[in-house]
Chains A and B, each alone.
Chain A
Amino acid sequence: MASRADASPPGVPRPLALGRRRLVARVEPSRSATLLVPVAAVLLTLLGGTVLFALLGQSPLAAFHAFFIEPLTTRYGIGEVLLKTGPLLLIAQGLAIGFRAQVWNIGAEGQLLLGAIAAAAVALTLADVESVWLLPLMMLAGTVAGAAWAGIAAWLRVRFQASEIIVTFMLSSVALQLLYYLVSGPLRDPMGMSFPQSALLHDAALFAPLLNGTRVNTSLYLAFIATAAAWLFMQKSLPGYRLQVGGLAPAAARYAGFAERRAVWIGLLVGGAAAGLAGVGEVAGPLGLLQRSISPGYGFAAIIVAFLGGLHPLGIVPAALVMALLYVGGDMAMVSAGLSNASTTLLQGMLLVSYLACSLFATHRLVRVKPREPHA
């Protein structure tokens, strides 16, 4: 034992043994490995998905084609992928800022719903207003509503030390019930029989179409503006730097006077605002009204997107595209290969599991150890 312990100087993390090989922590995460990890995770998920389809008695090739190739062969399919990229990218950028500071907002789904509700409420209240300022007003309302919903968790965390993980999740379940209540009561379309949905939003309250023959609309710009903003904030600004230091080394951050409370507030408010804005994009985009189902789990999928993108504003862009493809592929596979939509959630889970497993090789490297001489 003594000889091995002596081999690594004090302060250097000790290696893990893995048979003949040893895993040694890298001083700094390897750059190339950091880029390879998400690629490896996607490949592993494709492999896992193929095995899964085979187990389910489907032809793996047909399912694979329907899931990952077919959406990219038509203009409509590409449009659908872009349509779903928008909210995923927007929410993931907001979440990643909190995650980097170790603030775990897992209730983006509820914050998205609040944004959708607020935007729809504004549009329905101002149903006879045709101003170009209506849509910006809805965006403002949605952003504020999403941030406020996340703000409840931030306040409970800084005031009462209540875990933001649990509170944000619980609040998203509450938000869903709030939506159900509103669409079956106060915001229900009085002319709409008894369907639990609001009246249709008028044209001034909708984002303009962006690409002919698709459902993509101008709200997609918001996601890219958010990406640029997140990049500037995280990579170039002092507050962004403070936030990251707080996440990496809380003690050092406290010593340097970077307040933990501030990180909690910023992390949750930014995540909530982004999710709220994504909610506006859904009601004022493909939906055009408020109904019981607003989002196919974008708020939860965005957590995976944020991790898959390495919590880096630029990495999150391809990650969002991959996740959007998974969604659209799931829908298409249901139609063309008779697969259930449920496979999407399972593949999402596989994706994050593979990513986390592969990440080890970005922070550690495998070193082959010579068989040791028997002790004299």
Chain B
Amino acid sequence: MMDSIAFLLAGTLAAATPLLFAAMGEVVVEKSGVLNLGIEGMMASGAAAAFVVVFHGGGSGSALALGALAGLLLSCVFGLLVLTFLAHQVAAGLAVGILGLGASVQIGKAVEGRTIAPMPRIDLGPLSELPVIGRALFGQTPTVYAGLIAVALVWWFLNRSRAGLVVRAVGESPSAADAIGYPVALIRFAAIAFGGVMAGLGGACLTLAYTPLWADGLIAGRGWIVVALVVFGAWRPGRILLGAWLFGAVSLLELALQGVGLAIPSQLMSALPYLVTIVVLALISRDPRRLRLDRPVSLGKTHVPRA
């Protein structure tokens, strides 16, 4: 029993990490007033690129860097579409998402179905051997801690830094920010690029640390869960963290229930994260007043800059 709790605790944190990275990027993008629905493709390309690097003998650092680069390149395409070509944000997000999925298959074609050695876990000796919480808190891969640091940094950036204030102002009222003289398009482009880097890193965490293999379709809707997570978390990094843990736990339920010996169709368990997303989304969105208060006012709207 204690073992399965320890397993659940450690697994939840690990499973939440890819979502957490991508969601911290997405929350900054959405705070600037842009809805990026291309996360799925950015995560997929990041995951494939990072996997290929390690498969060919590269280190974790360069793998993470290349994963981030893949996400960055796709986000630049997205940024050009919505900011320069004034494309509808939903359509542009779908386009870049499909582009990213296609790119990921192309990148990973030669290593389809192969595995790599997972990223080593941190070993803090006696601390890591503490019962129940030892492995969860002191024996994870470095990416898990980096994900938590990212939450803290993004929280600080959005709520305590001057640059974060400007990003939020652009998201609340681009025309006002424009009138004051802030370069709205440039600020949004920077936010989008950050979102792309984080989505690429999220995908890289998935193949490097969580499921060290590559297969087409590996991301399996995680990019869309990330978009939902930002809504669940009311655009607040702390609450998004709780949401990511919830999804980490749900995705482990299948293994946990098998351990207990319950016979539930495996397909139902595979569908569970998607069903939970739908239910939680409906519950959270139920109160339109709350949603209106939390959501950046200009989210999804194209802003035509002044000359």
Contacts and interface: CB of A to CB of B under 8 A. Distances in A.
Interface of A: 4-5, 13-17, 22, 25, 56, 104, 106, 156, 159-163, 165-167, 169-171, 173-174, 177-178, 180-181, 184-185, 300, 303-304, 307, 340, 342-350, 352-353, 355-357, 359-360, 363-364
10 contacts: A14-B306, A16-B307, A163-B231, A304-B95, A340-B106, A348-B98, A349-B100, A353-B77, A353-B99, A356-B91
Nearest to B100: A349
Interface string B84-106: 01111011101111111111011
A160 B286 contact: yes
Given A163-B285, A181-B268, A356-B92, A340 B87 contact: no
A16 B224 contact: no
Contacts of A342: 102, 105-106, 109, 216
Contacts of A165: 37, 90, 227
A345 B275 contact: no
Given A167-B278, A171-B278, A173-B271, A304 B98 contact: yes
Contacts of B95: 304, 349, 352-353, 355-356
Closest CB pairs A-B (n = 8): A349-B99, A346-B102, A345-B102, A342-B105, A352-B95, A356-B87, A177-B271, A181-B267
B45 to A, nearest CB: 11
Contacts of B231: 163, 166
B116 interface: no
B73 interface: no
Given A169-B221, A174-B271, A357-B80, A346 B278 contact: no
Contacts of A343: 102, 106
A162 B291 CA distance: 10
Given A178-B267, A347-B102, A353-B81, A173 B274 contact: yes
B85 A356 contact: yes
B132 to A, nearest CB: 32
A249 to B, nearest CB: 13
A348 B227 CA distance: 23
Contacts of B293: none
B304 interface: yes
Contact of A173 (B86, B220, B281, B304): B220
Contact of B227 (A16, A160, A166, A357): A166
Given A16-B305, A340-B109, A346 B282 contact: no
B173 interface: no
Interface string B49-83: 00000000000000000000000000001001100
B283 to A, nearest CB: 8
Contacts of A346: 99, 102-103, 105-106
A159 B281 CA distance: 12
A264 to B, nearest CB: 13
Interface string B270-307: 11001101100111011010010000000000001111
B300 to A, nearest CB: 10
Contacts of A166: 224, 227-228, 231, 277-278, 281
Contacts of A350: 99
A351 B33 CA distance: 26
Contacts of B305: 14, 16
B278 A162 contact: yes
Interface centre among A4, A14, A177 (most CB of B within 10 A): A177
Contacts of A348: 98, 102
B113 interface: no
B2 to A, nearest CB: 32
A177 B221 contact: no
B265 interface: yes
A175 B96 CA distance: 24
Contact of A360 (B87, B224, B267): B87
Nearest to A347: B102
Contacts of A357: 80-81, 85, 87
Contacts of A14: 304-307
Contacts of B291: 161
A313 B286 CA distance: 35
Contacts of B306: 5, 14
B96 to A, nearest CB: 7
Given A340-B105, A346-B102, A173 B91 contact: no
B285 A160 contact: yes
A15 B216 CA distance: 44
A173 B96 contact: no
Contact of B267 (A177, A304, A349): A177
Contact of B98 (A162, A300, A359): A300
Given A13-B304, A156-B282, A177-B267, 17 more contacts: A5-B307, A17-B307, A160-B283, A160-B285, A161-B288, A161-B291, A166-B278, A171-B274, A177-B268, A303-B94, A343-B102, A346-B102, A349-B100, A352-B95, A353-B99, A357-B87, A359-B87
B86 A360 contact: yes
Interface in B208-247: 216, 220-221, 224, 227-228, 231
B221 A173 contact: yes
Given A166-B228, A360-B85, A352 B105 contact: no
Contacts of B286: 160-161
Contact of A106 (B86, B94, B220): B94
Given A173-B271, A177-B268, A342-B106, A349 B281 contact: no
A180 B267 contact: yes
B78 to A, nearest CB: 9
Contacts of A178: 267, 271
A15 B307 CA distance: 6
Contacts of B282: 156, 159-160, 162, 167
Contacts of B91: 307, 352, 356
Contacts of A180: 267, 270
Contact of A181 (B90, B94, B97, B265): B265
Nearest to A155: B282
Contacts of B216: 342
Interface in B128-149: none
A34 to B, nearest CB: 15
